[in-house]
Amino acid sequence: MNSVILGTGAYAPDRVLTNADLERMVETSDSWILERTGIRERRIVQSGQACSDLAIEAANRALLAARVSPSDIDVILLATCTGDTPLPATACLVQHRLGAVRAAACDISAACCGFIYALAIGDVYIKSGMKHVLVIGAEVMSAITDWTDRNTCVLFGDGAGAVVLGRSVDESKVLSTHLHANGRISDLIYVPGGGSRDPASDDVLQNKRCFIKMRGNETFKIAVKTMEEATHEALKANGMVPQDIDLFIPHQANVRILRAVSQRLGLSEEKVMINLDRFGNTSAASIPLALDQAIQDGRIKRGNKVVMAAFGAGLTWASAVVQW
Ligand code: UT7
Tens digit of each residue's pLDDT (9 = 90 or more) over 33-61: 999 999 999 999 999 999 999 999 999 99
CA of 168 to the centre of ligand 1 (A): 43
Helices 51-66 and 286-296: angle between axes, nearest 10 degrees:
40
Quote the Cα angle for 257-263-266, to 5°: 145
Cα-only R_g, the chain: 18
The reply to whether 251 belongs to the active site is yes
* Domain CATH number, residue 152: 3.40.47.10
156 and 202 both lie in a single domain: no
Is residue 39 within 6 Å of ligand 1 at its C-beta? no
CA–CA distances in Å: residue 307 to residues 19, 92, 108: 30, 30, 21
d(CA 197, CA 190): 13
Q: Given this model, what pLDDT does residue 60 score?
A: 98
> pLDDT (tens digit, 9 = 90+) per residue, 174-198?
999 999 999 999 999 999 999 999 9
Is residue 222 within 6 Å of ligand 1 at its C-beta? no
109 and 191 both lie in a single domain: no
287 and 240 both lie in a single domain: yes
- Amino acid symbol at 301: K
137 and 212 both lie in a single domain: no
Catalytic option among 19, 81, 210, 251? 251
> pLDDT (tens digit, 9 = 90+) per residue, 228-251?
999 999 999 999 999 999 999 999
161 and 184 both lie in a single domain: no
Quote the Cα angle for 112-319-279, to 5°: 40
Among protein residues, the one whose CA lies closest to atom 8 of ligand 1 = 220
Which segments of the chain have a pLDDT < 50? none
Which domain-ending residue is among 143, 169, 195? 169
- Amino acid symbol at 71: S
Among protein residues, the one whose CA lies closest to atom 47 of ligand 1 = 28
Is residue 259 within 6 Å of ligand 1 at its C-beta? no
318 and 300 both lie in a single domain: yes
| Residue whose CB lies within 8 A of the most ligand 1 atoms, among 22, 31, 151, for a mutation test | 151
Whole-number average pLDDT of the chain:
98
Percentage of residues of the chain with pLDDT beyond 90:
100
37 and 111 both lie in a single domain: yes
Is residue 282 within 6 Å of ligand 1 at its C-beta? no
Which domain-ending residue is among 147, 169, 191? 169
Q: Given this model, what pLDDT does residue 114 score?
A: 98
State the total domains in the chain.
2
22 and 113 both lie in a single domain: yes
41 and 183 both lie in a single domain: no
Which domain-ending residue is among 137, 169, 201? 169
Is residue 150 within 6 Å of ligand 1 at its C-beta? yes
161 and 186 both lie in a single domain: no
**Domain extent at residue 71:** 3-169
158 and 201 both lie in a single domain: no
165 and 187 both lie in a single domain: no
